[in-house]
Amino acid sequence: MRLQDKVAIVTGSTSGIGKSIAEGFANEGANVIICGRRQELAKGIVDELLSKGLKAIAIRLDVTIEESIDGLVNQVVDQYGRIDILVNNSGISPVWKRAEDTPKEAWDQIIATNLTGTFLCSQVVGRVMIEQKNGRIINMTSVGGEVALPRLVAYCASKAGIVMLTKVLAAEWAQHNIMVNGIGPSFVETDFTAGLRSNEKIYSDLKDKNPLKRFATPEEIVGTAIFLASDESSYITGQTIFIDGGWLTI
């Protein structure tokens, strides 16, 4: 029970990696806030966790709307009195196009959700953590924040921005005992990658780039998230840990 009674917000936790991390945190004793734009899904996950004797609540969140973030943080602080952990997991990648064909509207949407959303959530929660002189922030980035993924220009730019955002926040907030780190998966078998996996050639090509020759499962991301959220990582900050099956080694 490494996260016993900790208060943990996991954005984008109604499916995929975020859902698995939230469930992992709950199994470690945390009070988990399941949040995303699909409130019915969030409530269903909470009901499932509560039926197992775990602790969770559902709050709707749109990370592109500042008022939505403020409302979530105020509600969590009112109910629990603190926020110990924030996982910035919300992210989108709606286009698979070459840079010259990427619409500006898609670029704006991806940057607003992935990068600006991560900054805004970190900023609002960071103010709470500064007051309490303690906290853990985990930002979900990607191998696409480290190497180029063709046809994903906006996605890669947003994730590279998160890598640097992680470093700057870590440097600024270390004095407040707030550890800020990132997790960078390669491709994971979730609804997020369903479109890619439906194309046999693209799916095969992406697996071939990975020494393990497969995509990760969401559950393979959870252990690192628990480690970074726990006291076991008390001297680690500003780092991005890549869970990539060896992708970046070749």
Task: Kindly report the CATH number assigned to the domain that includes residue 129.
Answer: 3.40.50.720
User: Is 250 part of a structural domain of the chain?
Assistant: no
Q: One-letter amino acid identity for 183?
A: I
Give the span between the Cα atoms of 114 and 93, in whole angstroms. 9
Domain that holds residue 120: 7-243
| DSSP-assigned letter for residue 92 | -
Is the pLDDT confidence value at 8 over 80? Answer: yes
Query: So which residues are the catalytic ones?
Result: 155
Q: How many domains does the chain have?
A: 1
Is the pLDDT confidence value at 189 over 90? Answer: no
**Residue at token pair 């995929």:** 16
For the stretch 82-91, pLDDT in tens is 999 999 999 9
User: Is 170 part of a structural domain of the chain?
Assistant: yes
Q: Which long-range contacts (CB under 8 A, 24 or more apart) does 212-216 make?
A: 212/245, 212/246, 214/245, 215/186, 215/187, 215/188, 215/189, 216/185, 216/186, 216/187, 216/188, 216/189, 216/243, 216/244, 216/245
Per-residue model confidence (pLDDT) at position 71: 98
Mean confidence (pLDDT) of the chain: 96
pTM: 0.95
